[in-house]
Structure 1
């Protein structure tokens, strides 16, 4: 079973990185479509280069902090019981494994970009990122926590969005000059962050569907009809989020083309 904060923190990380990835992809394509290349991470220009690697620091530091929360704080340091991992906190250990993969990706990318110890091409970084998403996918698909009913439906949608993240990052390595692939990666990460938020507010917050409630660390619905109504509501919420992101992408494309595109450059 999860918690409100347990979904909000990773949701915030995914959302921030996803939105930044979308904008960077749109900006780079509008500025020079012929030289466009897929990037698994996007540098922050300006400020004398002092914040160039900000995205990678957000990924590495953010995942490390969340890892410490899951592995140390949530378990109350009761990690080993009777010579084995504490069975009461297996979900915390699984979350820690997922976060460790994203921390490794951020660290490897920083070493690759800032040092000469581990020079890796962008395609290799794409595959490393996809392995982190794959670990997340396996975590939620084979979770030790029993995701049934309405809770299971929300996590099933999350698994689908994670699968889209895997496909888009792998495609980035296979099609390194494709703007749609790069943009799709940002959209998938953004939707994953939004769905973490939606899950937090619906299952552990104030948006619980009528007839369902959180009781004794489990989501229960008073009838099959209420559970189906909750699942239909989840479908509608996902549709609204997808539509909102698409409108946002469209607005970003229009703004970037007007401000930084070929037409504005020609006028100058």
Structure 2
């Protein structure tokens, strides 16, 4: 007996728009026009005689019928994708990674050439943002975020929990890392990174009681803070994975081996996306590439 199925293109348009909660993003994902997505969805609604979406101020959202339908057809698309992956040894496809600007610029992007050389058939789409990423709702396949101490990270892959150390431009304030007087460092201009007031914690860990109030900058994000340190505007506390490129190039030097732990970078992968081979190889590569930063 023949199955009664709507046109596949209409189902693909609906599933993509429903998963991404956007006709525009669905059009981008499927490489068609916005009007094509709308036409397919309206045709599907007419065939089923139900409303699958409703218009809201920010765009569209699923109706209860639309949500019910998505929950039942999405696993079928996942199964088809997984079965197709299983027929080839080549993990081709797209992986969408949402990543914070600091670790994207200072750690990930300088290494992406290595992944591209290993897997030219996998296309990495990088979304750089500080905003929360709804991985469960398929905003992206994976999200790389900084997570503060005390947050439950049991569902995440640890990328780095490297402590933060003080760094500065070579020659800054005539400070010599081999004979550094920490009391002298405490009198210098100190660049604050916006994730927390780490300098007082660092001096306490180092056993130093400053003889005057610390000269702290206005909080900057990590990338601007590193650039300020490179420019000689002060010393900064930063984790090693974010400064490795600058240290190797001689633009920054590590002033002390005293480090403090304040959090780490973690990778969260959508459970459905994790079954795709392209996502698997990229996750494995990320974990391999970051292995050194989990042991420092």
* Same fold, TM-score > 0.5, yes or no: no
Greater fraction helix: 1
TM-score, structure 2 normalization: 0.22
> Which of the pair has the greater relative contact order for Cα pairs under 8 Å at 6+ separation?
1
Q: TM-score, normalised by structure 1?
A: 0.24
Q: Please say which structure displays the higher CA radius of gyration.
A: 2
